[in-house]
Amino acid sequence: MIEVVNVSKMIKKNNFRNIKVEILNNVSFRVRENKIVSIVGPNGAGKSTSIKIIMKFVRATSGSVKVRDGVKIGYLPENPYYYDYLTFRELLRFSTRAFKVDSRSAARQIGHLSERVGLSHCLDKRLRTFSKGMVQRAGLAAAIVHDPDLIILDEPMSGLDPLGRRMVFDLITDLKSQGKTVLFCSHILSDVERLCDEVVIMHKGSVHKELAREDLIRAQKQTEIVVSDDPFVRKQLLASDMTFEVTDGFLNVYVLAGEINNALNILQDNNIDIVMIKPSEITLEKIFEEITV
Amino acid sequence: MWPVAIITFYEGVRSRVLYGIFIFSLFIMFLSVIFASFFMQEIGKVAVDFNLSSISFAGLLISLSLSVGLISKDLDKKTIYFVLSKPISRAEYIFGKYIGLIFVIFFSYIILGILTCIPLLFLQSEYQLYFDTFSWLSYLQAIYFDFLKLVVFNSVIIFFSTVTSSSFITMLFSVSIYIAGQTINEVVNFISVNMVGLEMSATLKMTVQTLKYAIPNFAVFDFKVISAHGLLISVEEFFIFSGYGVGYALITLLLAAVIFQRKEFL
């Protein structure tokens, strides 16, 4: 859906002295169809700039960005600000008009989405009366009201209370189940860990690591059960759909905190001897810290 | 383009600044009743001139208050990301903003035009003798050309908004052009008259000629005196002046679109 290849971006730091700084350095990543991909990284890592280049707000100094032809994009900017005197309904109508959605479908979508983001009672209120969290919800609705194929969200959880975060989490999951592709930036690693199929970790303008679904699953597992390595044991673990890794003659089985009892029962039922149980050392946060600190 | 024009129109007509300007103009217009009564003769001409001037002044205030911040506010608050993430080209954004703004000014001129009719009708009934040359059509002609002046002036403001992201600089350049545009005719005439018998340097000649065509000639849209005498221009003149206004605005907007196309929104 999106292919970013060796993208670099230089900006002028000082117009008079012609001093330039590189804010993106050979950034490459791919967003495949029907996947949820997140770009994570500390402030100034180049996440938003990468998104702005994909959205064509900024031109890359070198490299290329390809977005599949004819794809409808929905975009939520970071800390969005909309027109003060417009109502929420008018904001959504702007989006549907811009995408030439017919009036009947637009009215249906506006009704559905305003309810989905918990703002159906505010449809005819002016945006200047909205709180920060409400603006964020309104922006989210405006980004997807035209039923886009690709949704790009810059810090969608920003300014939201726990309920709002939950709503965004569920919304992104729903979008994936509808076959949509989602690319988003976030600082909230626990949500990224649970939501994404792939994670791109950026630091100082470069991509430092790309994690696939398997890496994330491993990162999500909070506990490691160490068992002896044996072809029979491997076979049993695979049959039981358990995630494991081979290290120094042992098998490290990664288990979610809430599934330990179940995992232990499976291991005992298959007569697999447990060597050790310990907290997992791999989490997305740990990977993130290793790269950025 | 139309979605941008629609939201710009909504934003414009709901702006509190607009209401303030309306109340101020209303006050000035009704002041014209008292003011015109001070004159012993030519009451009709004074009343027409006074009311047209107040419409013109209100139009100028509306343009400066709404138009100057129109694009810079979108850039400052980053609303531009939201708009340009839709299938709206940058040129469509510029034209959409402009058309929305022109609709706001058109809407304001209709209201201001109707409001000025009240003191004029009152004065006409009170001092019938002084309104013998008055013509509503000529009055409408003056309002139309004043509106056309703002069509041009707002394209200039939009142009400067794309050159700089600072509202202050946009305001500074636009007001300078407005003042220059009001006086360019007189300056060109003054130089030509005073240079008779003297050889004008080629550089000065070229500078004057360039400025004459580059700066909008706002004086051609001033029909206040003509309207005060109840006169109408020929159809040919009407189309020439209208064509000049629309053509100038179109070229200025196209230039603005070209500049905006090259901008980056980091």
Tokens of B208: 């004057």
Closest CA of chain B from A75, distance in Å:
6
> What pLDDT does residue A201 have?
87
C-alpha neighbours within 13 Å on the C-beta side of residue B102 = 27
Q: What is the mean pLDDT of residues A128-146?
A: 89
The answer to whether A138 and A119 are in contact (CB under 8 A) is: yes
Q: What is the mean pLDDT of residues B88-100?
A: 94
Average pLDDT along chain A: 85
Domain with CATH 3.30.70.980 in chain A: 218-292
DSSP-based three-state secondary structure for A5: strand
**What residue in A sits closest to B11 (Cα-Cα)?**
A85
> What pLDDT does residue B249 have?
94
The pLDDT tens digits for A117-136 are 888 888 899 988 888 888 88
Q: Buried (b) or exposed (e) across A30-45, using 16+ Cβ within 10 A?
A: ebeeebbbbbbbeeeb
- Contact yes or no for A97 and B266 at CB 8 A: no
DSSP character string of A41-89: -STTSSHHHHHHHHTTSS--SEEEEEE-TT--EEEE-SS----TTSBHH
- Residues contacting A19, CB < 8 A, separation 6+: A12, A13
Chain A partners within 8 Å of B3 (Cβ)? 94, 97-98
* Domain parsing of chain B, residue ranges: 2-261
Chain B partners within 8 Å of A95 (Cβ)? 86
Comparing CB atoms, the residue among B11, B15, B88 nearest residue A98 is B88
Other CB atoms within a 10 A radius of the CB of residue B147 amount to 22
B248: closest CA among B211, B216, B209? Answer: B216
Q: What is the mean pLDDT of residues B142-165?
A: 93
> What pLDDT does residue A57 have?
92
pLDDT band at B196, cuts 50/70/90?
Answer: low
With left for phi above 0 and alpha for psi between -120 and 50, is residue A153 left, alpha or beta?
Answer: beta
The pLDDT tens digits for A159-182 are 788 888 888 888 888 888 888 999
* Better-predicted residue by pLDDT, B37 or B73: B73
Top residue of A11, A48, A94 to mutate, by most chain B CBs within 10 Å, is: A94
Q: What is the mean pLDDT of residues A171-198?
A: 84
DSSP character string of A170-220: HHHHHHHHTT-EEEEE-S-HHHHHHH-SEEEEEETTEEEEEE-HHHHHHHH
* Alpha carbon distance A170, A174 (integer Å): 6
Chain B partners within 8 Å of A59 (Cβ)? 264
ipTM of the prediction: 0.77
Q: What is the mean pLDDT of residues A143-157?
A: 90
DSSP character string of A11-31: EEEETTTTEEEEEEEEEEEEE
Closest CA of chain B from A8, distance in Å:
14
The answer to whether A66 and A115 are in contact (CB under 8 A) is: no
Per-residue pLDDT at B230 exceeds 80: no
* Alpha carbon distance A199, A185 (integer Å): 10
Tokens of B145: 């050309």
Query: Does B69 contact chain A (CB < 8 Å)?
Result: no
Per-residue pLDDT at A141 exceeds 80: yes
Chain B partners within 8 Å of A97 (Cβ)? 2-3, 6
Q: What is the mean pLDDT of residues A228-252?
A: 83
What percentage of chain A exceeds 70 in pLDDT? 93
Q: What is the mean pLDDT of residues A208-237?
A: 78
DSSP character string of A122-164: GTTSBGGG--HHHHHHHHHHHHHTT--SEEEEESTTTT--HHH
> What pLDDT does residue A220 have?
63
- Residues contacting B7, CB < 8 A, separation 6+: A83, A86, A90, A94, B100
Which of A264-273, B64-73, B106-115 comes out lowest in average pLDDT?
Answer: A264-273
The CATH architecture annotation of domain A1-71+181-211 reads 3-Layer(aba) Sandwich (3.40)
10-39 in chain B: CB under 8 A from chain A: 10-11, 14-15
Chain B partners within 8 Å of A132 (Cβ)? none
* Better-predicted residue by pLDDT, A282 or B113: B113
pLDDT band at A90, cuts 50/70/90?
Answer: very high
- Contact yes or no for B3 and A83 at CB 8 A: no
**What residue in B sits closest to A138 (Cα-Cα)?**
B82
Q: How many CB pairs under 8 A join A and B?
A: 69
Chain A residues with CB within 8 Å of chain B CB:
11, 49, 52, 55-59, 73-75, 77, 79-86, 90, 94-95, 97-99, 139, 142-143
B50: closest CA among A125, B259, B58, A53? Answer: B58
The answer to whether A235 and A268 are in contact (CB under 8 A) is: no
Q: What is the mean pLDDT of residues A93-116?
A: 90
> What pLDDT does residue A219 have?
64
**What residue in B sits closest to A23 (Cα-Cα)?**
B266
Other CB atoms within a 10 A radius of the CB of residue B208 amount to 16
pLDDT band at A150, cuts 50/70/90?
Answer: very high
Top residue of A83, A132, A183 to mutate, by most chain B CBs within 10 Å, is: A83
pLDDT band at A231, cuts 50/70/90?
Answer: confident
* Better-predicted residue by pLDDT, A259 or A201: A201
* Better-predicted residue by pLDDT, B104 or A233: B104
pLDDT band at B106, cuts 50/70/90?
Answer: very high
- Contact yes or no for B11 and A85 at CB 8 A: yes
What percentage of chain B exceeds 90 in pLDDT? 30
The answer to whether A36 and A212 are in contact (CB under 8 A) is: no
What percentage of chain A exceeds 90 in pLDDT? 21
Average pLDDT along chain B: 85
Comparing CB atoms, the residue among A80, A84, A85 nearest residue B82 is A80
Phi, psi (rounded to 5 degrees) for A246: -95, 125
Query: Does B88 contact chain A (CB < 8 Å)?
Result: yes
Comparing CB atoms, the residue among A74, A75, A81 nearest residue B79 is A81
* Alpha carbon distance A115, A93 (integer Å): 15
Tell me B200's DSSP state. Answer: P
Which of B45-59, B76-90, B184-198 comes out lowest in average pLDDT?
Answer: B184-198
The answer to whether B106 and B184 are in contact (CB under 8 A) is: no
Query: Does B82 contact chain A (CB < 8 Å)?
Result: yes
The answer to whether B116 and B55 are in contact (CB under 8 A) is: yes
- Residues contacting B149, CB < 8 A, separation 6+: B56, B59, B218, B221, B222, B245
The answer to whether A57 and B84 are in contact (CB under 8 A) is: yes
A277: closest CA among A241, A240, A236, A224? Answer: A224
Closest CA of chain B from A177, distance in Å:
24
Q: What is the mean pLDDT of residues A77-82?
A: 84
Q: For the domain bounded by A218-292, which CATH number is listed? A: 3.30.70.980
